[in-house]
Amino acid sequence: MAISILFGGKSYEHEISIVSAISLGKIMKIEHFIFLDCEHQFYLIPQEKMKSSTFSSGEYKQCKKLTIKGRDFYHSSFLGDKALGVRKLLSVIHGGDGEDGIISSMLEFYSIPFIAPRTKACVVSFDKHLTKLYAKDRGVEVLPFELFEIANPPKSLGKYPSIIKPLRLGSSIGVSVIESENDLAYALDEAFEYDECILVEPFISGVKEYNLAGYRNLEGDFVFSIVEEPKKSDFLNFENKYLDFSRTEQVCKAQISQELENALREAFVKLYKNCFEGAIIRCDFFVIEDRVYLNEINPIPGSMANYLFPDFSKAIEEVMMPSPRMINIDYRYIGKIQRAKGKA
């Protein structure tokens, strides 16, 4: 299948998106690499230029500029604008522009087939508060939490250890574990640097964590990845996760009971169904005293969680693409008004 990749974006996670695109280019055939820079300009990056220095040096600006209009991307030629021929687009724009729904809205507007969460799915997964409310409404448990705004920060958390997270950011950017009140001021400064609102929840040392990715296929059935139990310390910071985004080798399946695997899949289906169709997502779960809790939804996971699937190219081929609703505009109402006024 011919697949094009869209990456970059104006986001704190811009560099992570570049790493994801480079990693996917190593394991599957990519027809086009389309880069969105921080000035919201699109560029067509040749395969041989898909390396980190192309972007860090600004060399990408020497590549072909692209524009977007009806059903495709275009570049200038001697004969006018020429269509690139994008048949299906995979968005790996993490964070702002990608996971907040801006790119999804644009691609839907221009009728470009794409694999990524649709706008409504982005809304509930980009904001951690909305994610928790959404999960609870779908019957999936979450840890207790509190919200604070920069205008009214907490003077004390009361319970330690706790974890502080910017409300609308991923990749552990701005996230801190607070062991005591002495750590609070610095952690608040760091979190509020990235968002005017933060989420605070209890930090449970040694908790069992499991990652599960999946999607809905062309027949409407759910396809699940293996369940991964991350081999890590209690908390992965940004630097740890950044290295993790370049993974291409398949990981080992977690050694868990079939009963627990079924429970994780059941929670995944509740979160995905009738919301995330058209996307490959990864859900990270906690298991505490045999109860499954959602930690977070990764609507565009690093490197698309390719390492959790035995055949990621096949997964890309069989993701169910939502059909856009066709609306027939025939101006019948205006015609009735005109006839009533004798202007037919």
Q: Measured between alpha carbons, how far is 59 from 54 in angstroms, rounded to an integer?
A: 5
What is the amino acid identity at position 145? F
**How far is C-alpha 195 from the geometric centre of its chain's CA atoms?**
18
Q: Kindly provide the residue ranges of all beta strands, DSSP E only, lying in 150-221, ordered along the sequence.
A: 162-166, 176-178, 197-202, 208-216
pLDDT at 327: 86
Q: Measured between alpha carbons, how far is 131 from 271 in angstroms, rounded to an integer?
A: 10
Question: 16: how many CB neighbours lie within 10 A of its CB?
Answer: 26
What contacts 171, CB < 8 A, 6 or more positions away? 12, 13, 16, 94, 95, 238, 241, 242, 245, 302
User: For residue 67, what is the DSSP state?
Assistant: E
What contacts 123, CB < 8 A, 6 or more positions away? 101, 130
pLDDT at 14: 95
**150-167 residues labelled b (16+ CB within 10 A) or e (exposed):** eeeeeeebeeebbbbbbb
pLDDT at 234: 46
pLDDT at 78: 83
Give the residue from 89, 126, 96, 82 showing the smallest Cα distance to 110.
Answer: 89
* pLDDT in 10s for each residue of the chain, 344 residues: 689 999 999 999 999 999 999 999 999 999 999 999 999 999 999 999 999 999 999 999 999 999 999 899 999 988 889 999 999 999 999 998 999 999 999 999 999 999 999 999 999 999 999 999 999 999 999 999 999 999 999 998 888 999 999 999 876 788 999 999 999 999 999 999 999 999 999 999 889 999 999 999 999 999 999 999 987 654 554 454 445 555 556 788 999 999 999 999 999 999 999 999 999 999 999 999 999 999 999 999 999 999 999 999 999 999 999 987 888 888 989 988 888 877 65
Domains and CATH numbers, the chain: 4-116 (3.40.50.20), 146-202 (3.30.1490.20), 205-318 (3.30.470.20)
Q: Measured between alpha carbons, how far is 238 from 249 in angstroms, rounded to an integer?
A: 21
